[in-house]
């Protein structure tokens, strides 16, 4: 009887392990490099102090809870490509897809600013 209980407990742990292992990945899908890049840019804009680092680190953590990394990356790409002058950048600034992605990021940043700064 004791062996069966041990086997059941082991089977349950093995079955639950993949689900538990996936949950943190979903909540933390921003790569470290992307977080560090955001904090670096944020600190450049807000002062290179310990307090700025704390606020900027908080900010990217909040953003990561609001939008998935794929959406963040998409919006960042549209913003970057939209900086091109002339006709080259127009499509990246004016398309509905770019406006929606950048809007999502801006709303997440606004929420992060309210919570962290």
Residue 82 is encoded by which pair of tokens?
Answer: 């939209």
Q: What is the pLDDT of residue 26?
A: 52
* Coil, helix or strand at residue 50: helix
CA atoms within 13 A on the CB side of 54: 4
Low-confidence ranges of the chain (pLDDT < 70): 1-28
Q: In sequence order, which residues have a C-beta less than 8 Å from that of residue 77 and are 6 or more positions away?
A: none
Statement: the pTM of the whole predicted model exceeds 0.95: no
What tens digit of pLDDT does each residue of 90-110 get?
Answer: 888 999 999 999 999 999 999
Position 88 scores a pLDDT of 84
């Amino acid at each position: 009887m004791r062996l069966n209980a041990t086997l059941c407990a082991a089977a349950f742990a093995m079955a639950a392990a993949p689900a538990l292992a996936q949950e943190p990945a979903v909540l933390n899908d921003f790569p470290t490099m992307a977080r560090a890049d955001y904090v670096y840019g944020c600190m450049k804009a807000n002062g290179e102090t310990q307090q700025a680092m704390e606020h900027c680190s908080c900010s990217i953590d909040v953003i990561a809870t609001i939008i998935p990394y794929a959406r963040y990356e998409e919006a960042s790409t549209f913003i970057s490509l939209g900086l091109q002058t002339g006709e080259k950048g127009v499509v990246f600034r004016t398309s509905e897809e770019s406006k929606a992605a950048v809007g999502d990021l801006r709303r997440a940043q606004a929420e992060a600013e309210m919570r962290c700064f």
